[in-house]
Amino acid sequence: MSAYTRILMPIDGSPTSDKALAEAIRLARLSGGQLRLLHMVDELSYVNGFEPAMAYLNDTLPLMRDAGEKLLAHARQQAEREGVATDCVLIVGGPGRLWEHVVAQAGSMNADLVVVGSHGRRGLGRALLGSDAEQIVRHAPGPVLVVRATGAGEPSGAPGASETGSISPA
């Protein structure tokens, strides 16, 4: 087993992301590795078309950026309390989906491992929302550990309800 000395972890503040963060911190601590946290401010998810452009630029976007910075700072403190060297990247604006930014960041930092939380959506939810975790697995330059939450109503021992699992590209 190779040592994971450069670990990339995209975070979004969800319970699934928090669970994946705990796993990334544990792996970095065990390997003596460093952790890079990445958060992308998804501007389009908050645009409804009814707000004036200036209100969006002057009010909404700064709040989103601030929330992203706070999320990263909190996660960084969590990792550093465990003795893990951590840096953060905040992506605001620009083209591309989250998975594209994660893959690019993994390549530029020569990540040994990408740890990603997955909500485990299926069916229509997956078709409509896409799967960033799946695309990261398919396109990442190295190993990806997918950590997913146990589904609501699924017993923890049920098939597909594993708390962590690694998936490699086919």
Per-residue pLDDT tens over the stretch 67-123? 999 999 999 999 999 999 999 999 987 788 899 999 999 999 999 999 999 876 665
> In this predicted structure, what is the pLDDT of residue 45?
52
Domain hosting 69: range is: 6-166
Q: Which two tokens stand for residue 115?
A: 């740890």
- Domain assignment of residue 55, yes or no: yes
- Domain assignment of residue 139, yes or no: yes
CATH of the domain at 124: 3.40.50.620
- Domain assignment of residue 96, yes or no: yes
Residues in CB range of 137: below 8 A, 6 or more apart: 144, 146, 167, 168, 169
- Domain assignment of residue 1, yes or no: no
